[in-house]
Structures are given as structure tokens and as C-alpha cells.
Amino acid sequence: MNARLRPRDDPAAAGQIAYALRQMTPADLDAVAQIETTVYTFPWSRGNFADSLTVQYHAQVLTDQTNTVRGYFVAMPGVEEMHLLNISVAPEVQGQGLSLLMLDAVTLLSRADGAHLLWLEVRPSNTQAVRIYERYGFYPITRRRDYYPAQDANGRPCREDALVMSAQVGDLLQRRGLRTAPIG
């Protein structure tokens, strides 16, 4: 899916910059890894992204008009479900609705793959991400104990739970006003 996009949720930004989503390629891995290490204390490695390409997960990058990678997502299809493994926006362009654009793309890919359910894990301490997911239409379904590596207040290694969130693909399509061709 190659698409020219403008953030729908920020009219000021929409008039300024057009973004494009395209398949992630090995040539994108350095830029993706750079964003990943900037955004997360415990980032995926470049190898994790390379492996995702090798196994042909849905992996796309969001680029601006200069073809600079500004965000990305990786999603793993399953039987009638899609698991969003990673989604990130470069810090310098956060707050412009770009994560919502990528979530729209994941939702449309889910529908195209015949998925009925879209789910993800998120750190409960990542309150900004939790709010974005809730705003988008995800709801918490459970917690995975000790899922993420973390550090306590003294800098010692520990683990953090994951909040598992889910949404019905059809509900997301309707909520976001996304149109797709029927699958049949």
C-alpha cells in the first residue's frame, strides 16, 4: 500500500506536509533503528526489524515529502487477527496525528487480510500511547505480567507488565470512517 496522506486530526498540519506510507525495505532499517532508539529506553534492535522483513510481516514506513522516514509500524497477521508489534513516530513530528494515520493503515491492512480483531501490548507507564490507543478505539482486555524489561527508580533492572488492548476491526473501520472494498 503506497499512499499519500495528510493528518486528519490536525487541520493546521494537514495543509503543510503530505506524508506517504510504503513498504519498509532493508534500506530503511538504519533510519527505523535510529527512531526506535530515540523513542524507547528498551528498543527493538535493527535485527528485530530485519527479521520482521524476512518473515514478511506487514512493515511500513511513513515518509515526508523529502522521503525522510518519520514513523513506522510492524504488524503480524494471524488467523482472523492482526497483532500490532511496534508503531513509532519520530519525536520531532509527534503530536501531528501521524500515529492515527498509521493506525488507520494497520486497520485497513487487517481488513484486507480478513482479520476481525486487532490487538497490541503497551506499557501502562506509556500513558501517552495508552491515551492514543483508547482514543482510536482500543480497550484493555488483560495484563501480561513482567512482559517488558524496565528499570526501577534506582536504575536497577526489573520488569514491567504489558497492558493488552484490543479492538474489533469492523468497529475501527466504522469509527474512523475508513472505507474498504468488501472481502469475498
Binned at pLDDT 50, 70 and 90, residue 181 comes out as low
Tell me the domain boundaries of the chain. Answer: 3-176
Calculate the average pLDDT of the chain. 91
For domain 3-176, give the CATH superfamily. Gcn5-related N-acetyltransferase (GNAT) (3.40.630.30)
The pLDDT value recorded for residue 33 is 98
Q: What percent of the chain has pLDDT over 70?
A: 89
pLDDT score of 17: 78
Q: Is the dihedral of CA 40, 42, 46, 49 positive or negative?
A: negative
Smallest Cα–Cα separation from 5: which of 80, 102, 84, 86? 102
pLDDT band (50, 70, 90) for residue 14 = very low
- Using 50, 70 and 90 to split pLDDT, how confident is the model at 179? confident
In this prediction, residue 70 carries a pLDDT of 98
